[in-house]
Structure 1
Amino acid sequence: MPELTLFQRDDCHLCDLALEVLAVARAPEFESVFIDDDHALETRYGIRVPVLRDEGRGMELDWPFDAEGVRRFLEK
């Protein structure tokens, strides 16, 4: 099972939408990481959030994504 992380921001409408998409896609459990107070993560992800990262494979899925896109990402 992939180890997933969702990088997001506080009060982020797109992040809320991403959470809905992940629920529809029936994504496995994931860790939510908020980048707001982390300079390194802010530099890396900045305006890209929300970003779904598969830690085991080192792959990332940038927003916008839909449920089918999430499923394909998880199957790779």
Structure 2
Amino acid sequence: MTQLPPVTLYGTLACHLCEAAMQILQPLIADGLRVSEVDISDSDELMQRYQLRIPVLQRQDSGAELDFPFDLAQVMDWLGDVLSEGR
């Protein structure tokens, strides 16, 4: 498989939707997707930007964002340009 771009998952510690998002990402993590989790409660700027949107995935290569709810197929489409290069 082609190298997947690292992503950031913005959320908070007690966010059940954030836990659900990580579960959705597990098959891609098993294939090499690197996910950095960022707790937005540590930053006023991130709280202002994301508090009503979390969980949010952000590609570290392009800055593109994907808001929850999403499923595995939607994440794969979002990463599609990278995945299609490996086919």
TM-score w.r.t. the length of structure 2 is: 0.80
Q: Does 1:36 align with 2:41?
A: yes
Contact 2:5–2:34 (CA<8 Å) still a contact in 1? no
Question: If you compute each CA radius of gyration, which structure gives the higher value, 1 or 2?
Answer: 2
Query: Where do 4+ consecutive residues of structure 1 move more than 2 Å?
Result: none
Count of matched residue pairs = 75
Q: Does 1:10 align with 2:13?
A: yes
* Structure 1 position 7, deviation (Å): 0.4
* Structure 1 position 3, deviation (Å): 2.5
* Corresponding position of 1:59: 64
- Structure number with higher strand proportion: 1
Offset from partner CA, 1:37-58 (integer Å, 9 cap, x none): 2100001111100000002111
Consecutive unaligned residues in structure 1, runs of 5 or more: none
